[in-house]
Every structure is written in structure tokens, then in C-alpha cells.
Amino acid sequence: MMRILGSCFCVFCFAVVVFAGPGAVRCGKLVDVRSGNMLVDQVVVFDEKGIITATGAASQLLPAGVTPVDLSESTCLPGLIDVHTHITMEPYMSGYEGLGVSYTREAIYGAKNAAQTLRAGFTTIRNVGAGGFSDVALRDGINAGDVPGPRMFVSGPALGITGGHCDNNLLPFEFHYTEEGVADGPWAARAKVREVVKYGADLIKVCASGGVLSKGDQPGTAQYTLEELTAIAQEAHKLGRKVAAHAHGTQSIKDAIRAGIDSVEHSSLIDDEGIELAKQHGTYLVFDIYNDDFIVNKGEKTGLLPESIEKEKKLGRLQRENFRRAFQSGAKIAFGTDAGVYPHGDNAKQFSKMVEWGMKPLDAIRAATLSAADLIGQPDKVGSLEPGHYADLIAVSGDPLSDVKVLESVSFVMKGGTVIRNDSPSK
């Protein structure tokens, strides 16, 4: 039993197929991300709630009375996960033009970007930083079925020091502007954690070091102290929330790990001691190693500050080298891209960078499935195609285990048993 719901959203028109009962997808090939094996002629069966009930060989498992979606010419994978997005942000918004964008306008951008991201095969995202809790509103709108988008785990405003990367330093003194996530000192930072949790944050984002796109600071410089980071991590964990720390700088990376923070974002200038600490503490490292290309090549056009482009030129290659070193040393790595710094929907372009810099395609795919699911605290719900998980499934032509670039052209996306797009060839 299927019915087609036509819904028009922004510039995109979707034909959404809703399963009114149990359903199934038949895959010519399927990447088993846990074993690393490529399985052939598989079926994934799910119930009316969009939860997987069984997977296995099509010859044995196909339930009576169910006509599966035919993906027999395609390769299936679990829906992908990006743990570092700015879904309500557009590339031009980091420069002065961004000052004219309201939080409500950001939320509308978010609705457009969420649809693009989902259609690109990313069925789950973690959003790290959004003004006005626009990401909370977007998450809730998606969960209510008002707009299409991935499953979202959101931080609301990022915590940061006065004048730091997560403050806004574009305006002079007389405007008296401070970003809403600014909090100085351990107790003010604890209060800010409580505040963002109050207004709907699933996790805490904190800016530990300086950054690339902010005015007047340096990525390598520490901003929050170890004492402040420890207070933030303790308060967040007490309230059942994980913490993601923006940290480019060597010292801030170590401070974040020692503070008990769950993931280090960017990780650009991590050294051997930092890698060892991450391994000891089980901290995930997230390296956004695609967007360097976009910032350096397109940053001027999108209105980035000249200092931002200069900072990226110094940092990009080091970050890629350190990504390779961290991976080869056995640190835990999750797939996060900084989408929003580059256009949303291009998230999968990072896979080939990860392979270029030392990973096998399967490692990169695991970073965006099993590892990302573990980092966001959802290992039993997303990141693999197993009973009890959401029926979040994508398909591509070709073999992503030999050519990871095929993930840039996803032909089929299903989220929770609902088909979002299907451009796959069928027999």
C-alpha cells in the first residue's frame, strides 16, 4: 500500500512516497558497514513506523504481499551522517553581508538547506551553532513533518568568550553587540549551558580556540581556559548533553580533551600528544578537510574577510596532514564538514578528500555512519541497516568501496521508511 504525496517546497518539488504499512527495499548490492562486506541481492524490511524489522538475502526474506522498492541495479548504504553542519547558514553570511540577516531569515534558509542535505543522502545531521535557536525550530518543524529534512541534533547558540570566535566582532564598540552564546568564567559558562538546554539544545557547542571566519583572532590561540571548558563539560554531562568543541589550536585541543569534551571539531593543529590524549579519553576528532578548497577558491566571491582567506591558506594543508596522522595513529574520527561554510548538499565531497589523505573508502564511510552515530549518542538508531534502526537508506550506482566519489551522486534516499527521492534505474 503506497500513496504518493505531492508537496512543493521552495524551489524543489518532491514526490514523497509514504508507506501506509510495512515495506521493503531490494538492493542489488548492499554495503554492510559493520563487517565491511559488500552483500548481494539483499532486502531491508521495515514496519509501519519506519523501523527496520529484518535484513537479509532477498531469496529468503521477502515478505508475502509486499512489493519492494526495486534497487536491484544499485548499491545501498545506511543514510549518511554529518556531525558538523551550520544548516541555517549560507556561505556569504560570515562576512559583513551576514549582519543584515535576521534569525527568522536564517530559519528559512535552514528549511531550504535541510531539504538539500536530505536529498544528498544525509539523513541525520548534528548542527553546531545557530543564532536565535533557529536550528531548534527547524528540528522541531522537521520532526512535526512540516518541512522535509534530516534527523537533526542541534546545539542552538555556540558558547564562546567575549571577542572570541563565537562572538561577533564585525561591529565597532558603539553598537554594543555581543553574541547570545557569550559567557566568561566557569559559572557564567555553566549558566549558559543551562540556558541553551532550557531552550531546546540536544548538545552543547563551545568555541575553545580562535577561528578562521571570525574577525581579529587567530585559529591557533586558546580562548576558553581549561577551567571554563571543564565547567562546561561537567554541566552539560550532568544535564545529559554531549559537548562539541571548536578547536584549531594545539593547546585548546588538549584542554578540550582534558576537560572531558566529547568531540574536537576542526582539530587542525593537533600534535602527537593531542592525538594520544584523544585516544586515551576516547574523544572523537572531526576534521572538515573539504571546505578548505571552497574557502580559498570562492571565499572572496562570497564576501569573506581577506584575513579569513589568509588564515585558511595557512591552516588547510596542516589540517589535512594532521587528519592523516590522527587516523593512522588510531584516533576515533567522525565525519563532519562545516556545511554552510560551503553550499549545503555538497557534504559528500569530503569523502574523496578523506581517501586522498589516507583513509580507505570503507573508513570514510564508517566515519559518516557507525562512528558518527556513536558520537551523537544514537548507535542503536542510525548509522547501520539493522533491526531496530530507522529505515534510513540511500542508494548509488557503482561501488563506493572502490570509488567513494559515487556518494556525491545519490540516486535514492529513504528516511524512516519514507522515500524522499528515487532516480535509480530499475530492471
**Residue 82 binds Zn ion (CB under 5 A):** no
Return d(Cα 11, Cα 108) in angstroms, integer: 13
Per CB under 5 A, contacts with Zn ion among 15-34 are none
- Residue 124 and residue 382 in contact, taking contact as beta carbons nearer than 8 Å: yes
Q: Name the residue number minimizing CB distance to Zn ion.
A: 338
Report the side by side order of strands in the sheet with 122-127.
Answer: 80-85, 122-127, 151-154
What minimum distance in Å lies between the beta carbon of 286 and Zn ion? 9
Distance of closest approach, residue 293 Cβ to Zn ion, in angstroms: 16
Strand partners of residue 330: none
**Residue 207 bridge partners (DSSP):** 246
Per-residue cell: 258: 582534558
Q: Which of 112, 338, 349, 415 is catalytic?
A: 338
Strands 263-266 and 242-247: parallel
3 state DSSP class of 41 = strand
- Do 325 and 361 meet the contact criterion of CB atoms below 8 Å apart? no
The distance of closest approach from Cβ of residue 92 to Zn ion in the complex, given in angstroms and rounded to an integer, is: 16
Nearer to Zn ion, 194 or 314 (CB): 314
Active-site residue, selected from the candidate residues 205, 215, 332, 353: 205
H helices of 259-348, in order, are 272-281, 291-298, 306-328
Would you say 17 or 114 has its CB closer to Zn ion? 114
Q: In 10 A of CB 144, how many CB atoms?
A: 8
Report DSSP state, residue 164.
Answer: S
- Rounded to a whole number of angstroms, the minimum distance from the CB of residue 9 to Zn ion is 26
Q: Active-site residue 205, yes or no?
A: yes
Tell me whether residue 126 or residue 415 sits nearer to Zn ion (CB atom). Answer: 126
Binding segment (CB under 5 A) for Zn ion, from list 64-72, 190-198, 314-322, 338-346: 338-346
CB of 368 within 8 A of CB of 408?
no
102's CB contacts (< 8 A; 6+ apart) are none
Q: Which is nearer to Zn ion, 205 or 415 (CB)?
A: 205
Q: Is 338 in the site for Zn ion (CB under 5 A)?
A: yes
The nearest distance, CB 323 to Zn ion, in angstroms, is 16
Count of residues making up the chain: 427
With respect to Zn ion, which residue has the nearer C-beta, 151 or 165?
165
Question: Which residues contact residue 31 at a Cβ distance below 8 angstroms, ignoring those fewer than 6 apart?
Answer: 38, 39, 75, 76, 77, 362, 365, 400, 401
Closest separation in Å from C-beta 63 to Zn ion: 43
Least distance in angstroms from the C-beta of 296 to Zn ion: 17
Question: How many residues of this chain interact with Zn ion, rule: CB under 5 A?
Answer: 1
DSSP state of 159: B
Of 312 and 338, the one with the shorter C-beta distance to Zn ion is 338
If the CB atoms of residues 133 and 412 are measured against Zn ion, the closer one turns out to be: 133
Joined grid coordinates for residue 33: 558497514
360 in active site: no
| C-alpha Rg value of the chain to the nearest Å | 21
Stretch that binds Zn ion, among 224-232, 335-343, 377-385, 390-398 (CB under 5 A): 335-343
- Is-contact 382 118, C-beta < 8 A? no
Q: Could you say whether residue 202 binds Zn ion (CB under 5 A)?
A: no
From the list 106-114, 142-150, 334-342, 388-396, the region that binds Zn ion by CB under 5 A is 334-342
Residues that bind Zn ion (CB under 5 A): 338
Which residues are tagged catalytic? 205, 338
